[in-house]
Amino acid sequence: MKEAAGTPPRVVRSSQPAQCPACGGGPVARIFRGMPTYDQKLQNDLDAGRIVLGGCVMMNDDPSWQCTQCGQQIYRSE
């Protein structure tokens, strides 16, 4: 499938990478979807780059991780 102009290439990995495959930065965070209850643990995870919020709408083909430096989204291979 051809990517649309200006769209970053689709990056697929079998597990969460330690560094971003696009920029080499990090941390690479898990994308947390749904309606989270805000508490100090959630804030700590956000501050540390362990998670990023992905919204409450979930689709069948959502990325699993996102680079906290460049925003590259990474999909889990099946």
What is the per-residue pLDDT across 29-72, written as a single tens digit (0 to 9) for each? 999 999 999 999 999 999 999 999 999 988 889 999 999 999 99
pLDDT of residue 70: 95
CA-CA-CA-CA dihedral for 46, 6, 75, 67, to nearest 10 = -30
What's the token pair of residue 77?
């291979």
pLDDT of residue 2: 55
Peptide bond into 27 cis (omega under 30): yes
pLDDT of residue 64: 97
Q: Kindly report the number of other CB atoms within 10 A of residue 18's CB atom.
A: 8
Please tell me the pTM assigned to this model.
Answer: 0.84
**pLDDT higher than threshold 80 for residue 1:** no
pLDDT of residue 48: 96
Cβ–Cβ under 8 Å, residues 51 and 62? no
Q: Which residue has the tokens 């200006």?
A: 6
